[in-house]
Amino acid sequence: MAKLHFQSLLCLMQKRFLTTSSTLYTSSLSSSSSTLLSPSYTAQFLVKSCGLPLDSAISISQKLNLDENKRQKHESVLEFLKSHGFSDTHVAKLVSKCPPILQARVDMLKLKIDYLHDSGFVGPVLHELIVSNPAILRRSLDKQIKPSFDFLKEFLETNEKIAAAIKRESWLLTFDLKKILKPNTFLLINEGVPHSRMSKLITLQPRVIMQHVDRMVYATERARSLGIKPTDPIYVTAITVILSMTESTWKRKVELYEKFGFTEVEILKAIKRQPHFMACSEEKIKSLMNFYTNTMKLKPSAIATYPRLLLYSFDARIRPRFNVLNILASKKLLKKHKKIAWLLTQSEASFLNNYVIKYVDQVPDLMELYRGVKKIDL
């Protein structure tokens, strides 16, 4: 009897446990679902006030927590941006790239915007600059932005030129001035690069001075080993090409050219004439060199004399010109002393007038062949 009573009591306890557990689980699930279905204040603000998609807003809200009690401050940032001409699209992009901008002080933002405005960034140019690099509004005006402008002014002299350089590479204003920009610039100057050429470099190819200093040291040493002097017109271009690839990639390309019969002297000759000779992809080098050496029977020495041959498009330039020259040669209309490699480098107008239009009466399909309308097997 006692045993039966104990079993009944145990059964009752189990039922109560299951009922309680079920209630707790349902409550927990309901709470969890409610949390998932109800976006936080941060996510709601990003969607309703900033125009961000819900999925982006939720993702950002996991990293950024806006205080609902400071809503007026967040809205004042948006009002400030729009009062300076930033569109809803600009604001959405800006906040998406740099969410903490919503926590910035409007008075500090105003100081930076006013400074940029006085420095030549007005209207769409200002908007494009800020949207491309929102970090500008997060960096110190006195410790980062102004010193960067002063540094650039040493070489570019006018606000217009500085604006042109920054428009090309907005990170010039926020990159590490002391550890990267200045050391790289003065390294090139100490190597002997003229001031005027440095100005052109910063204006047209600012990313060159944004490399790690050890990479710049490597590039200057490589240029020196190639016999390219800092005063040579191609020096800056050579530095740019060297910096565009790793040392191992450079070596592979040299070995690839050697496989096609280039001597070390011929490779150096080609690089000095056209540094971008080394900038071609390995696939393009293989493809063009196969065609030049096997189909056109050009020697490496000829290609080293005209290294731009490696820069041209095969389908847009090399194939149509080769087709035309091949037909003219077969009809004995091409003068024997003409160098085929040289003809491939002629301007479009010159080649069209002297080797296509000139012979269309004698070779009726020549223009169609040149334009690619008519195909022939190579």
Residues 253-270 pLDDT 10s: 999 999 999 999 999 999
Q: Which residues of 35-58 are buried (b: 16+ CB within 10 A; e: fewer)?
A: eeeebbebbbbbbebbbbeeebbb
Q: What is the spatial distance between Cα 240 and Cα 217, in angstroms, rounded to a whole number? A: 13
Across 170-174, 255-259, 372-376, which has the greatest mean pLDDT? 255-259
Q: Cβ neighbours of residue 209 under 8 Å, at least 6 residues apart?
A: 180, 181, 184, 185, 188, 201, 202, 216
Tokens of 104: 């910035």
Summarised one tens digit per residue, pLDDT across range 178-193 is 999 999 999 999 999 9
* One-letter identity of residue 63: K
pLDDT at residue 376 in the model: 57
Q: Where residue 310 falls among pLDDT bands split at 50, 70, 90? A: very high
Percent residues over pLDDT 90 in the chain: 77
Q: What is the rounded average pLDDT of the residues 350-364?
A: 94
